[in-house]
């Protein structure tokens, strides 16, 4: 039985490493494909062209920022991933994903030259930069976080529950630098009056590209290589 456990642990380690390598390769390919898109300032985005723009997101006028459930930080989008420590057939405990939740609100992108509105973002690529769930008896102070865990089927009522969980949080903070990739389209801005005789105000909108993708990322490598 002990030998079986060692073989199982070794196989799990090998498969985990193989998955990590494949994920790293896929991530590199995804990043390079994103960086191949032409970089524009928002005010210069061509109509009907897939582009890459850099700026800061904030809620649209009249909307409040979201509040991240774990850290309580104001944001325009958040992503929570929960892991639970389990044994299964392995002699050593390991961490296993038990669920995740995402939420985003309507936002505008501002780079100092103009503001762009968005179609619904199909892919939020955000870095996990906050973690909780390691204390033996500590419950999250946020009732929103406790509610979210219950929605994922994770009970917060049994003693010591928190010792079995790791909670990871990623957000797109208000005004935080991001890069967006989508198809630019100029449209009539009905919220603004005419700028002159027989003229109407127009604003850029980012729409989905081919395959229905509209991407927002805070990847550091993409940000470093996305200065107009």
* pLDDT computed for residue 149 by the predictor: 83
3-state secondary structure of 84: strand
Average pLDDT, the chain: 81
Q: Which residue has the higher pLDDT, 90 or 212?
A: 212
pLDDT digits (tens, 9 = 90+) for 141-179: 567 887 888 888 876 665 555 557 888 999 999 999 999
Of 33-42, 138-147, 219-228, which has the strongest mean pLDDT? 33-42
What residues does 51 pair with on adjacent strands?
A: 182
Mean pLDDT of all residues in 54-78: 94
Least confident of 64-78, 103-117, 160-174: 160-174
* pLDDT computed for residue 16 by the predictor: 47
Q: Which of 165, 166, 163 is nearest to 137 (CA)?
A: 163
* pLDDT computed for residue 22 by the predictor: 61
Give the Cα separation of 111 and 125 in Å (integer): 19
Q: Which DSSP string do the residues of 190-202 spell out, in sequence order?
A: TTS--SSTT---E
* pLDDT computed for residue 8 by the predictor: 47
* pLDDT computed for residue 208 by the predictor: 94
Give the residue numbers spanning the domain of 202: 2-224
**20, 102, 113, 141, 203 from 42: Cα distances, Å:** 36, 27, 6, 40, 9
**Over 60: is that where the pLDDT of 197 sits?**
no
Q: Total structural domains in the chain?
A: 1
């Amino acid at each position: 039985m002990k030998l079986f456990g060692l073989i199982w642990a070794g196989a799990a380690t090998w498969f985990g490493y193989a998955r990590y390598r494949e994920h790293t390769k896929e991530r590199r390919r995804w990043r390079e494909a994103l960086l191949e898109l032409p970089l524009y300032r928002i005010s210069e985005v061509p109509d009907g062209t897939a582009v890459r723009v850099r700026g800061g997101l904030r809620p649209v006028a009249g909307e409040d920022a979201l509040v991240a459930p774990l850290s309580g930080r104001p944001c325009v989008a958040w992503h929570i991933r929960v892991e639970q420590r389990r044994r299964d057939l392995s002699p050593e405990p390991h961490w296993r994903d038990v669920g995740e939740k995402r939420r985003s609100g309507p936002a505008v992108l501002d780079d100092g030259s103009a503001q762009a509105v968005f179609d619904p973002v199909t892919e939020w690529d955000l870095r996990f930069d906050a973690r909780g769930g390691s204390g033996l008896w500590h419950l999250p102070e946020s009732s929103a976080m406790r509610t979210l865990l219950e929605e994922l089927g994770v009970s917060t009522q049994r003693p010591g529950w928190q010792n079995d969980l790791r909670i990871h949080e990623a957000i797109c903070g208000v005004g935080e630098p991001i890069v967006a990739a989508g198809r630019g389209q100029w449209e009539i801005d009905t919220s603004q009056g005419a700028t002159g005789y027989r003229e109407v105000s127009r604003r850029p909108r980012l729409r989905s590209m081919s395959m229905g993708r509209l991407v927002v990322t805070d990847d550091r490598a993409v940000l470093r290589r996305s200065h107009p």
